[in-house]
């Protein structure tokens, strides 16, 4: 059953950008070989029309080299790209009559030697025309100033209208991919891949769904999502339920029709598991802080039933050793924030002393007092945020934690200590909660806005000085095509049936593995396009069919809200992905801190380290009641966090000025 949830704010960037995409057709067939230019006047004669269009691209990996083909240019998507005619005048793929050819070949270092190989190329000057910048220790601007990369601004502005349109539709990305000069004019020193939404996560909040089914008591009332009040406000008049009942204010609540929870696993629990759980918020997945606390009470019963009531290693929820997540996560459930540097509505602040962070601390104090938190959390300094107390989690003693997709479903059963858990343990993923219990109006009913998600700014490619005498017009025409939906699908999915039929492949992986198309398109009940891959992209054949090492263009995540990408995940994984991408990371400053110059970065690092060290020592003390909030705040007064805020604000401000 699909959840009804608090209205999600979706980015309209992709929709706006796609409205500007050039509609072009596929070109004619070609046998491949060296690039050649032609087409006469129809190509739009320019200074590059008769220049060399052979480009060598240094990449870090080949996704199939040696197993499916000998060289990366033999991959089917790359062969398709090399066989097209590119319409420099109008953009995109053209025909033999109005287009020009280009040809890509690739340099690939031995696995494990990528950084050394990159540095050797730069040091000797023996580098090709295009560089994957993943292994660079310097920024593209610094490499331009050192005479290695070109300033490609004029070519981007002339030959990449789709890229520019996408940035215009997503202005928050501009300061991450542009550099402003003293007059505020934008300069491009690299081309960046960009995701259209949060990428499919590999981690997120996990919880014991079987404990909820077995030990949670259905509440007498649940949120009434069909009521006028909830439709208008997104929540009942008073929450949580206990307070609504006490005050006799049940506007937005309704009688719960479910009186007993039941579950069925079917033949394959990962695919067939179902239950009738309904949370106090009236949803099939946990939505609010009060939903979480309702679960924690069930976890207490499960722990006691197993004889672990006095076991400090059995508990409801784990948090990082310093008491909060600098990425935000549940910290941002209380009106937004990260507990450290934070950006909202274009304004940077230090969140470690905010009312929102104080409210988060108050909630954690309550959970600690109730025995729901890991009492040993501050001792787990060696644990990564997604692997906190793995021994406890794997033994089946923890109710909720940040974990990996590999722990979803019935995977935990093989390591559980309890005999019942060995048969029934079932893990599901859930979104960060909406706070409906703690703090004031500013801290309640706000969507989390800072969490661990991959940056939308992907890796970059630089165009070196070795390319300055080549056909840059056709190169940048191709690069711009990857920022259209047509180009993005070729790079990120592979060839559809029509594209496959239009080219001659050698080697032909499609024929060798009886693949007719890399993906299919359909329309779901909501009228959205559904892209379904016909192969497992996590396996080697998936990488071999795509061209993702040519890492430019839009990365199609399926999480932007405009379309759906089906990748064949089991139901329990698909549901977790939906939950973990429900909210978007808008409050983290990590992208901006990466823009600081060397001097600024040194100052930022010094202050940030001092602040983090202080918090990691004292936030746990506040949570445990060993230190007051006021004393904690006083201890931060001698740390110059305002300077870091000012440094970061300078770069955030570029979002509203650069390129305008």
Query: Is residue 35 scored above 80 in pLDDT?
Result: no
- Angstrom distance (rounded) from CA 548 to CA 563: 20
Question: Does a structural domain hold residue 305?
Answer: yes
Out of 520, 541, 557, pick the residue that ends a domain: 557
Same domain, 553 and 568: no
Could you tell me what percent of the chain has a pLDDT over 70? 92
Q: Which residue has the tokens 């059953």?
A: 1
On whether residue 249 sits in a domain, the answer given is: no
- 433 and 347, same domain (yes or no): yes
Question: Exposure string (b/e) for 188-217, b if CB count within 10 Å is 16 or more?
Answer: bbbbbbbbbbbbbbebbbbbbbbbbbbbbe
pLDDT in tens, 595-612: 787 788 899 999 999 999
Q: How many domains does the chain have?
A: 2
Domain boundary residue, one of 506, 528, 557:
557
Q: For residue 179, is pLDDT > 50? A: yes
What is the rounded average pLDDT of the residues 409-432? 98
CB 503 within 8 A of CB 497: no
pLDDT, tens only, 631-655: 999 999 999 999 999 999 988 886 5
The count of C-alpha atoms lying within 13 angstroms of the C-alpha of 421, restricted to the half-sphere facing its C-beta, is 25
Residue 6 has pLDDT above 60, yes or no: no
How many CB atoms sit inside 10 A of residue 534's CB?
15
Spacing of C-alpha 325 from chain mean position: 17
Would you state the structure tokens that stand for residue 316, as one six-digit string?
């409801």
* Angle separating helix axes 641-652 and 598-623, nearest 10 degrees: 120
Tell me what the mean pLDDT of segment 336-342 comes to: 97
3-state secondary structure of 206: strand
- Claim to verify: residue 209 and residue 144 sit in the same structural domain: no
Q: How far is CA 163 from CA 82, 91, 490, 539, 656, in A?
A: 21, 12, 17, 30, 18
* Residues 164 and 146 grouped into a single domain: yes
pLDDT of residue 45: 58
Structure tokens at 142: 């610094």
Q: In what order do the strands lie in the sheet with 529-533?
A: 519-523, 529-533, 563-566
Does the pLDDT at position 302 exceed 60? yes
- Does 190 lie in the same domain as 82? yes
What is the per-residue pLDDT for 597?
76
CA distance readout (Å), 534 to 255, 487, 522: 45, 18, 13
Give a yes or no: residue 45 inside a domain: yes
pLDDT at position 495, please?
97
- Of 530, 557, 584, the one marking the end of a domain is 557
Q: Do residue 34 and residue 150 come from a single domain?
A: yes
pLDDT at 14: 39
For residues 61 and 635, give the distance between their C-alpha atoms in angstroms, rounded to a whole number: 48
The reply to whether 316 and 375 lie within a common domain is: yes
One domain for residues 175 and 34 = yes
Cβ atoms 497, 179 nearer than 8 A:
no
In a domain, 114, yes or no: yes
Least confident among 316-330, 421-435, 578-592: 578-592
CA distances from 404 to 451, 485, 623 (A): 15, 31, 26
Residue pLDDT, tens place only, 401-414:
999 999 999 999 99
Q: Which of 109-123, 190-204, 496-510 has the lowest mean pLDDT?
A: 190-204
166 in the same domain as 27:
yes
Position of tokens 């540097």? 341
Distance from the first to the final alpha carbon of the chain:
45
Predicted local distance difference test score (pLDDT) of residue 656: 55
CATH number (domain holding residue 145): 3.40.190.10
Residue 390, pLDDT score: 95
Domain co-membership, 577 together with 597: yes
Q: Are residues 574 and 537 in the same domain?
A: no
Query: Which residues lie below 8 Å from residue 226, measured CB to CB, with a gap of 6+?
Result: none
* Residue 346 reports pLDDT greater than 90: no
Q: Which domain holds residue 152?
A: 13-198+461-557
**C-alpha–C-alpha distance, residues 330 and 313, integer Å:** 22
Rounded distance between C-alpha atoms, residue 479 and residue 487, angstroms: 9
What percentage of the chain carries pLDDT values higher than 90?
75
- The residues, any chain, with a CB within 8 Å of residue 573's CB and separated by 6 or more, are 270, 405, 408, 409
The CA radius of gyration of the chain, in Å to the nearest whole number, is 27
Which residue from 271, 278, 275, 273 is spatially nearest to 256, judged by alpha carbons? 278
């Amino acid at each position: 059953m699909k959840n009804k949830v608090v209205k999600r704010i979706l980015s309209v960037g992709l929709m706006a950008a796609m409205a500007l995409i050039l509609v072009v057709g596929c070109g004619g067939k070609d046998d491949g070989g060296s690039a050649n230019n032609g087409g006469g006047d129809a190509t739009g004669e320019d200074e590059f029309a008769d220049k060399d269009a052979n480009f060598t691209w240094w990449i870090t990996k080949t996704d199939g080299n040696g197993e499916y083909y000998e060289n990366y240019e033999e991959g089917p998507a790359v062969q398709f790209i090399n066989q097209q005619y590119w319409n420099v005048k109008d953009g995109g793929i053209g025909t033999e009559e109005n287009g020009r050819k280009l040809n890509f070949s690739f340099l690939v270092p031995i696995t494990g030697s990528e950084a050394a190989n990159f540095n050797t190329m730069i040091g000797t000057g023996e580098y090709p025309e295009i560089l994957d910048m993943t292994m660079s220790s310097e920024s593209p601007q610094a490499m331009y100033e050192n005479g290695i990369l070109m300033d490609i601004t004029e070519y981007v502005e002339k030959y990449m209208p789709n890229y520019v349109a996408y940035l215009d539709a997503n202005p928050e990305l501009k300061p991450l991919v542009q550099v402003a000069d003293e007059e505020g004019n934008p300069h491009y020193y690299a081309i960046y891949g960009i995701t259209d939404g949060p990428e499919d996560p590999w981690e997120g909040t996990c919880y014991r769904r079987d404990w909820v089914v077995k030990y949670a008591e259905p509440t007498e009332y649940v949120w009434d999502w069909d009521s006028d009040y909830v439709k208008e406000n997104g929540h009942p008049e008073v929450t949580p339920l206990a307070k609504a009942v006490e005050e006799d204010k049940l506007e937005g609540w309704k009688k719960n029709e479910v009186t007993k929870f039941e579950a069925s696993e079917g033949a394959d629990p990962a695919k067939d598991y179902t239950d009738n759980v309904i949370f106090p918020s009236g949803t099939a997945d946990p939505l609010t802080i009060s939903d979480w606390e309702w679960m924690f009470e069930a976890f207490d019963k499960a722990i006691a039933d197993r004889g672990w009531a006095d076991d400090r290693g059995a508990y409801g929820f784990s948090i990082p050793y310093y008491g909060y997540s600098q990425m935000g996560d549940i910290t941002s459930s209380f009106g937004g924030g990260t507990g450290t540097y934070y950006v909202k509505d274009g304004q940077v602040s230090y969140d470690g002393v905010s009312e929102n962070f104080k409210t988060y601390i108050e909630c954690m104090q309550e959970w600690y007092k109730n025995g729901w938190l890991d009492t040993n959390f501050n001792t787990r300094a060696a644990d990564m945020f997604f692997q906190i107390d793995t021994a406890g989690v794997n033994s089946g003693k923890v109710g909720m934690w940040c974990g990996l997709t590999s722990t979803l479903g019935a995977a935990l059963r093989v390591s559980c200590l309890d005999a019942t858990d060995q048969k029934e343990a079932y893990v599901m993923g859930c979104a960060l909660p909406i706070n409906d219990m703690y703090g004031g109006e500013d801290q309640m009913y706000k969507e989390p806005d800072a969490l661990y998600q991959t940056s939308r700014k992907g890796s970059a490619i630089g165009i070196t000085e070795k390319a300055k005498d080549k056909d840059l017009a056709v190169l940048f025409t191709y690069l711009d095509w990857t920022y259209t939906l047509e180009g993005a699908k070729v790079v990120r999915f592979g060839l559809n049936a029509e594209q496959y039929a239009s080219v001659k492949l050698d080697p032909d992986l499609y024929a060798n593995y009886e693949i007719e198309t890399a993906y299919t398109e359909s329309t779901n009940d909501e009228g959205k396009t559904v892209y379904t891959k016909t192969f497992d992209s996590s396996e080697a054949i998936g990488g071999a069919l795509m061209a993702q090492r040519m890492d430019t263009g839009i990365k199609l995540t399926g999480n932007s809200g405009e379309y759906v990408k089906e990748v064949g995940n089991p139901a329990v994984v698909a549901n977790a992905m939906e939950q973990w991408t429900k909210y978007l990371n808008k409050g983290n400053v990590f992208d901006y801190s990466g823009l600081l110059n060397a001097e600024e970065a040194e100052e930022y690092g010094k202050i940030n380290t001092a602040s983090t060290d202080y918090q990691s020592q004292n936030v746990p003390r506040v949570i445990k009641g060993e230190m007051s909030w006021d004393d904690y705040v006083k201890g931060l007064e001698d740390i110059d966090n305002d300077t870091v805020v000012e440094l970061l604000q300078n770069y955030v401000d570029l979002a509203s000025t650069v390129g305008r």
